[in-house]
Amino acid sequence: MVAVLSCALSARAQGGDKNLPEVKIEGERSEKVSDDEKITRFIPGQKVVHIDSIVLQQYKFQNMANLISQQTSAFVKSYGFNGLATLNFRGASAAQSQVLWNGIPLQNAALGISDLSTLPVAMIDRVNIVYGGSSALWGSGNVGGALLLENDLPVFDSIRRKEMALSLGAGSFHQYSGGARVAFHDRRWYISANGFVQSARNDFRYTRSGNEVPNDNARLYSLGFMMNGAYRIAEGNTLSISAWFQNFDREIPAALFEAYSVKDRVDQSKRVMLHWRKERERSQVYLKTALIEDHLRFADEAIGLTTANRSYQSYTEWGIRRSFGKRHTVLLFVPANYSWMKDAAGQQLRAGVSASYVLALLRDKIRISTQASQQVIDRETVFLPGINASYAVLNWLTFRVNVQKSYRAPTLNELYYSPGGNPSLAPERGWTQDAGYTLKAGIARGLQLYHDVSVFNRDIKDWIVWFGGAIWTPHNIAEVKSRGMETENKLTYRKENTVIHLGLNTAYVLATTQRSYAPNDGSIGKQIPYAPRYNGQLNAGITYKSLYINYNHTYTGYRFYTTDESAWVEPYHTGNVQLSYLLRLGGQRSLLLSGQANNIFNQQYQVVAQRPMPGTNFLFGARFSLAD
C-alpha cells in the first residue's frame, strides 16, 4: 500500500475563549493530550490518535459514533440512524474494543459492549484512541484497542471564578437539542454541571422495493446530566466526585425485511466515581472507585415481548507512579472489577496486580516500556505480559513497536443469558504485534507534514461468536487472525491568520478464520462478518481567523455478513461539511455558530444489512459562553 501524503487541521483560537483552545500541528500542540498516566508515559510504542479540541467542537451536537466514523480509521458498526453503534478496531469484535471514561470501563457489564450512539460528544472534553491490545494496562477485553474519554481535571484559582454556557441545536428530521453548562471554582472548591436534552423524529425517507417510504417508528427522546465536584486538600492533593446520569428512549424502525415495527428500546445509565489524587514532582498516588448501573429494556408490542436487563459493576483501582531520575519510571496499580446482574445467577470478579516500567535512554530518544499483570478472573489465573518501545532516530522520524498478550473473559450474557448462554465457553487468548513509524517535518516555509504508518498482526484462539436461529448461542471459533496496515497523513500550510489543511487516513484489514472446531466449516480463510477490508477518511479545509470550514469524505468497503462470504453489504462513501464561526461579544463573552451538512451527495447506503441510513441532512447549533 502506498502511503498518501495528507494533512491536518491546525488552528489557533483568538484570545482566551475556552471554546476554541489553541491547537498546533501534532507534536507541537499546546493543548494537553491526556491526564491518563498510562497514555502519557507507559505506551511509547503504541499508536495513539488524539482528536483535536477544535474538531470536537464541530461534533458537540452529535454522538461518538458520528465522530469516530468520520474522523478515524476505526470502523463503527451502526444499525441505523436510531440504532445501536459499536466499535471495531482492526477487525476486532465489539466486545474486544473497550470504552473507558476517566479510566473507568463503560462496557455494559452483561453485554460487554458500549453503544457509541448513547455517548454524546457534549459530555466529554478529550478523546483519545489507543490502537492495539494492552490487556496488562487496561484488563480483560482490551484486544483490538480502546476509546478513552476524559473530562478535564478540576481547576483551582486564587480568585473566585464562574463560567456559563448555553447551547441550542436543530436539524433535519425534526432534530432539536439543548444544553447548559455552569462551573464555579476558587482556591479550594471546584463544581461544574453539564446537561442536555434531545428529541428527534428521524423521519427521513428512503427507497424500498423501488418506492420512497418514510422511516416510521424512529422517534428519539434523551436527556443527560453530569456533575463534577472537587476539593483541594492541599497543593497537588485533590478529592473529586463525578456523577453521570442519562436516559435514551428510542423507537426502533423496521428493517428492510420487516413490514412494520413497533419496537422500543430504553437505555438508562447511572455512573458515580470518587477519585483521590496526590501528585508531587516525581510521584503520584491515586485511588478511584466507581459504581455503574445499566438498565436496558426492549419491547415489541407486535409479539407481546418485553425484556429487561439490569446490570451493575463496581470498579476500584489504586495506583502509584514513581520516577527515579530522568531515566526510570514505575507504575504499580491494583484494579478490581466486580459485575453482576439483577435477578440472575451470573456474577464475575476480575482482580489483579499490574505493573509497568519505562526506561529512557539517549536523552529520551529511546523509550522502552514493559508491562506485566497477574489477574484472577472467575477463579482462573492468567499472566499478561507486554513490551513496547519507541526510538526517535532523528528529530523528525520516530519508530515504534508493540508486543502484547491479549485476553478476554466471556461476558455475563455469553455465559449465563437465558435462553442461549453457554457456561462452557473458553476465554479468548492470543498475541498482538504492531509496529510503525511517524514522520514530522517542515518541508517548506509554513508547510508542515505529518505522516504515520502502522502494520499489525493479531492471532486469537477461541474467538467467541454468536450463532443460531430462534435461539442464539455463543460458540468458540478455534482461531482468528487479523493483519493489516493503517496510514495517517496530514499536510498543513500556515500563513498569518490562515491555516489550510489536507488529510487522509486509510486502513486495510484482513481478518480471517484460520481454524474451526466445526467440521467442513466454510468460513476457513474467509473474512469475519462486518470487518471491512478497506476504509478511509479525507479532510480538507481552511481556518481564517475565527472561521473554520472543513470537507470530510468517508469510504467504507465491502462488509460480509455471512461467515462464508456468500452475502455482503455494498461499499459506500459519504461527503460531509462542517463549519463554525466564533463571534467575540466583548469581555469574556462569545457566541460559537456551527453547522454540518452530512451525506451531501445523498447516497443510499447501509452500514449493517437491511438497515437504511439517511440521505442528505443538516444540523445547526449555537453556543453562548460567559466567564466571570
DSSP string, 402-431: EEEEEEEPPPHHHHH-TTT--TTPPPEEEE
Residue 379, C-beta contacts closer than 8 angstroms, at least 6 positions apart: none
Give the mean model confidence (pLDDT) for residues 184-207.
95
Question: What does the pLDDT read at residue 133?
Answer: 87
- Lowest mean per-residue pLDDT among 184-198, 236-250, 334-348: 334-348
Task: List the end-to-end C-alpha distance of the chain, in Å, as a whole number.
Answer: 53
Annotate 331-346 with DSSP letters as a single string.
Answer: EEEEEEEEEEETTSS-
Please check whether residue 400 is in contact with residue 438, taking contact to mean a CB–CB distance below 8 angstroms.
Answer: yes
pLDDT digits (tens, 9 = 90+) for 550-575: 999 999 999 999 999 999 999 999 99
Q: Which of 2-11, 48-57, 434-443 has the highest mean pLDDT?
A: 434-443
Give the mean model confidence (pLDDT) for residues 174-184.
96
**pLDDT exceeding 70 applies to what percent of the chain?**
95
pLDDT digits (tens, 9 = 90+) for 575-620: 999 999 999 998 889 999 999 999 999 999 999 999 999 999 999 9
Residue 26 has pLDDT above 50, yes or no: no
pLDDT digits (tens, 9 = 90+) for 234-292: 999 999 999 999 999 999 999 999 989 999 999 999 999 999 999 998 999 999 999 99
Q: How confident is the model at residue 139 (pLDDT cuts 50, 70, 90)?
A: confident
Residue 6 has pLDDT above 90, yes or no: no
pLDDT digits (tens, 9 = 90+) for 424-448: 999 999 999 999 999 999 999 999 9
Structural domains present in the chain: 37-627 (2.40.170.20)
Residue 148 has pLDDT above 90, yes or no: yes
Question: What does the pLDDT read at residue 420?
Answer: 85
Q: How confident is the model at residue 628 (pLDDT cuts 50, 70, 90)?
A: confident
Instruction: Measure the CA–CA gap between 509 and 532, rounded to whole angstroms.
Output: 7
Residue 132 φ/ψ region, left for φ over 0, alpha for ψ in the -120 to 50 degree band, beta for the rest? left
pLDDT digits (tens, 9 = 90+) for 512-543: 999 999 888 889 999 999 999 999 999 999 99
Question: What does the pLDDT read at residue 209?
Answer: 82
Residue 3 has pLDDT above 70, yes or no: no
What are the start-end ranges of the E strands in 157-304? 161-171, 175-185, 189-200, 205-208, 211-214, 220-234, 237-252, 263-279, 283-300
pLDDT digits (tens, 9 = 90+) for 415-426: 988 788 899 999
Average pLDDT, the chain: 91
Q: How confident is the model at residue 31 (pLDDT cuts 50, 70, 90)?
A: low
Residue 18 has pLDDT above 60, yes or no: no
Give the mean model confidence (pLDDT) for residues 99-124.
94
Count CB neighbours of 470 within 10 A.
6
Question: What does the pLDDT read at residue 14?
Answer: 34
What are the start-end ranges of the E strands in 469-604? 472-495, 498-515, 534-544, 547-556, 559-560, 568-569, 572-584, 589-598
pLDDT digits (tens, 9 = 90+) for 367-407: 999 999 999 998 899 999 999 999 999 999 999 999 999 99
- Lowest mean per-residue pLDDT among 7-11, 289-293, 456-460: 7-11
Assessment of whether the complete model's pTM goes beyond 0.75:
yes
